[in-house]
Chains A and B, each alone.
Chain A
Amino acid sequence: MNDDTRHDYLWDGSGEPDAEVARLEALLAPYRHRRALPPLPAREAPPRRRAMAIGLQFAAAAASLALVTAAAWSAAALRPSGWNVESLAGAPSVAGSRLNSRSRLPVGALMTTDAGSRARLDVALIGVVDVEPNSRVRLIASRPGERRLALDRGGISARIWAPPGNFFVNTPSSTAIDLGCAYRLDVDDDGRGTVHVDSGWVAFEYNGHESFIPKGAICLTRPGFGPGTPWYEDAPAGIADALTILDFSSTDDVRRPRALETILAAARPRDALTLWHLLSRGTTAERARVYDRMAVLAPPPQGVTREAVINGNRAALDAWWNTLGLDSASWWRIWKTPWK
Chain B
Amino acid sequence: MSDVLRPVELTAEQAGDIPAIGQRPATVRFPPGHAAEDGRLVRSARDGDTEAFARLYERYGRVVHGLLLARVARDEVDDLVQDVFLTAWRRLSDLRDPAAFGGWIAMIARHRTTDFHRRDAEFVNLADDIESRGADASEQADARAALAAIRALPQAYRETLMLRLVEGMSGMEIAQRTGLTPASVRVNLHRGMKLLREKLHR
Contact = CB atoms under 8 A, between A and B. Distances in A.
Contacts of A20: 193, 197, 200
B66 A37 contact: no
B87 A40 contact: no
Interface stretch (A5-13, A271-279, A317-325): A5-13
Contacts of B146: 24, 27-28
A159 B65 contact: no
Query: For chain B, what secondary structure do more than half of its interface residues adopt (helix, strand, loop), or is it mixed?
Result: helix
B139 A27 contact: yes
Contacts of B78: 35
B165 A3 contact: no
Interface string A72-92: 011011000000100000000
Contacts of B114: 76, 84, 104
A43 B90 contact: yes
A38 B86 contact: yes
A1 B186 contact: yes
Interface in A85-116: 101-104
A223 interface: no
B166 A10 contact: no
B153 interface: no
A74 B186 contact: no
Best-buried of A32, A63, A120, A128 by chain B (most CB within 10 Å): A32
A31 B147 contact: yes
Interface in B18-60: 23-24, 46-48, 50, 53-54, 57
Interface in B50-88: 50, 53-54, 57, 61-62, 64-66, 69, 74, 78, 81-83, 85-87
What is the size category of the interface that chain B forms with chain A? 35 or more
Given A21-B165, A35-B78, A46 B87 contact: no
Interface in B156-182: 164-168, 170-172, 182
B96 interface: yes
Nearest to A25: B165
Interface of B: 2-6, 23-24, 46-48, 50, 53-54, 57, 61-62, 64-66, 69, 74, 78, 81-83, 85-87, 89-97, 100, 104, 107-108, 110-112, 114-115, 119, 128, 130, 133, 135, 139, 142-143, 146-147, 164-168, 170-172, 182-183, 186-187, 189-190, 193, 196-197, 200
Given A33-B62, A45-B48, A159-B4, 11 more contacts: A1-B186, A11-B189, A37-B82, A63-B91, A73-B82, A84-B110, A84-B114, A161-B95, A162-B94, A198-B3, A198-B6
